[in-house]
């Protein structure tokens, strides 16, 4: 039982780290602001969830587990909201139009 919990927590941690990494690759490689934001916004929530669940399984201390669950709930609320606010601000300021004006800016980092 103990090994099962250890292995599953390790697998969850690994998946979480992989998702973080893929989000990082996405923010560097994707062409414009919205796709980049999508790459991070989607992976980040799942990656944090995976890592936190992995840590909860890893840790036997009840009080620490409760704190981790609270952090998890907070993240599940805050991180999609932050992505939404970012995208909303971009639409509000007509970022797509500015992109079209300088059409060859795929390589340059976009400034939100």
Partner 1 sequence: MKDLLAVVMLLGIYSLLSASFFVLMDAVDVAFTEAAVGAGISTLLMLLAITMTGRTEHPTRHKPLLALAVVVVTGSLLIYGTLDMPYFGSAEAPIHQHVAPRYINDSMQEIGVPNIVTSVLASYRAFDTFGEVVVIFTAGMGVLALLSTVRRSEDNETIDSFNQSMHEQHLILRIVSKMMIPFILLFALYVQFHGDFGPGGGFQAGVIFASAIFLYTMLFGMSTARRVINQSFIQILAATGVLLYGSVGVVSLLNGKEFFDYSALSADPVAGQHLGILLIELGVGITVAAVMVIIFFNFADRRGYSPDKESEDL
CB 42 within 8 A of CB 79: no
Which position among 84, 93, 94, 96 is part of the footprint of partner 1 (CB under 8 A)? 84
- 108 forms part of the interface with partner 1 (CB under 8 A): no
In the complex with partner 1, which residue's Cβ is closer, 46 or 76? 76
- Torsion, Cα 111 98 92 86, to 10 degrees, reads -20
Q: How far apart are CA 82 and CA 79, in angstroms?
A: 5
Which position among 85, 93, 96, 106 is part of the footprint of partner 1 (CB under 8 A)? 85
Which position among 60, 61, 62, 111 is part of the footprint of partner 1 (CB under 8 A)? 111
């Amino acid at each position: 039982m103990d090994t099962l919990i250890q292995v599953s927590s390790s697998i969850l941690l690994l998946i979480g780290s992989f998702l973080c990494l893929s989000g990082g690759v996405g923010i560097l490689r994707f062409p414009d602001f919205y796709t980049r934001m999508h790459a991070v916004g989607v992976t980040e929530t799942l990656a944090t969830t995976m890592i936190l669940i992995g840590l909860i399984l890893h840790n036997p201390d009840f009080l620490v587990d409760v704190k981790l669950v609270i952090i998890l709930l907070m993240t599940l609320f805050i991180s999609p909201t932050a992505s939404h606010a970012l995208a909303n601000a971009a639409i509000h300021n007509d970022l797509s139009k500015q992109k079209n004006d300088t059409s060859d800016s795929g390589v340059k980092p976009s400034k939100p």
